Chain A
Amino acid sequence: GAVVSQHPSRVICKSGTSVKIECRSLDFQATTMFWYRQFPKQSLMLMATSNEGSKATYEQGVEKDKFLINHASLTLSTLTVTSAHPEDSSFYICSARSGTGPYGYTFGSGTRLTVV
């Protein structure tokens, strides 16, 4: 089946530094990828939709300059958390359309970001 690889799985960084998270579709091309943020006991929150070769579409309330998304190829999207602060600590998950319909999403394994 379709596989989405996400790296790193866990990262600890100092406050004020930037962190890059990669999301790769391994056996299919993904023109569209999605980035989510997940807090304990809360829904997955869609942050942005990443389209290959164009600018990402951000959801309301998500800071574009803080969460930089790049989708330079059909198999790779990156999320960079710039000038990270402790409140950015969270679980970040990417997803890609691997099939048709609302059932056709494959998720990465997530990245646990801790900002100290």
Chain B
Amino acid sequence: QKEVEQDPGPLSVPEGAIVSLNCTYSNSAFQYFMWYRQYSRKGPELLMYTYSSGNKEDGRFTAQVDKSSKYISLFIRDSQPSDSATYLCAMSEDNYQLIWGAGTKLIIKP
């Protein structure tokens, strides 16, 4: 079993829809949770991050962490074609090593 599970997709939704992206994990020691966005043939860029449980909102993006269920989510409201990318979750126990999900390819159809 992988430490972090993420459905690779692709996930295709119409423009304007609410998108839900998710990761599950098995290591209860993870405390730091991140979402990265990766455009085709580019490196990942940090989109959102949270520490421990709870929600965090930034514009159209909301990150949620449910440590009791070992489940994290990223919601995108009013999705735009420019949101089309691969979204990777990453987690860390400490200050250092990141454990990555496989990434979900998201396609927003105009």
Q: Chain A: residues with CB nearer than 8 A to chain B?
A: 4, 6, 9-10, 41-44, 46, 91, 93, 95, 100-103, 105, 107-110, 112
Tell me the bound Cα distance from A102 to B90 in angstroms.
Answer: 9
A113 to chain B, nearest CB (A): 12
Whether B103 contacts A102 by the Cβ 8 Å rule is no
Known contacts A101-B32, A102-B98: A43-B46 contact under CB 8 Å: no
Q: How many residues of B contact A (CB 8 A)?
A: 25
21 pairs from A and B in contact (CB 8 Å cutoff): A4-B43, A10-B41, A41-B8, A41-B102, A43-B100, A43-B101, A46-B97, A91-B41, A93-B44, A101-B32, A101-B95, A102-B90, A102-B92, A102-B95, A103-B49, A105-B98, A108-B43, A109-B41, A109-B42, A109-B43, A110-B42
Chain B residues 5-26 with CB under 8 Å of chain A are: 8
Q: Which residues of B contact A93 (CB under 8 A)?
A: 43-44
- Centre residue among B32, B46, B49 by max chain A CB count within 10 A: B46
Whether A102 contacts B94 by the Cβ 8 Å rule is yes
Q: Tell me which of A41, A101, A103, A110 contacts B43 (CB under 8 A).
A: A110
Q: Which residues of B contact A110 (CB under 8 A)?
A: 41-43
Q: With CB as the reference atom, state the residue of chain A lying closest to B8.
A: A41
